[in-house]
Amino acid sequence: MKKRIHVYYLGRVQGVGFRFITEDLAGKFGVTGWVKNLADARVELVAEAEESVLQDFLSSIRKYFRGYIRDEDIEWQESTGEFREFGIRF
């Protein structure tokens, strides 16, 4: 069953390639949604896929940016199916 995650990352997550690496990881996992930088130095992520895929996706982000992410706020939601791909929003 597909799920949606809405995540806010806090730490040194801007200016380190976070959005571009996340977009690449999303493609490898077949995740749809988007990622963007926020004015308050956080990064916001919305993604949809099977729950197990999202868990692996999140683990990969954590592993890749383990020295940069200080905190993450994750909200699990029902999938809306509105996304066809994953992209960077500006």
Is 62 one of the annotated active-site residues of the chain?
A: no
- Which listed residue (4, 12, 19, 66) is catalytic? 19
Residue where the block lists tokens 């130095």: 41
Question: Is 19 marked active-site?
Answer: yes
Q: State the catalytic residue, choosing from 37, 62, 66, 89.
A: 37
Tell me if 49 sits within 8 A of 29, measured CB to CB: yes
**CB-count burial class (<10 Å; 0-12, 13-18, 19+) for 80:** exposed
d(CA 53, CA 3): 10
Q: So which residues are the catalytic ones? A: 19, 37
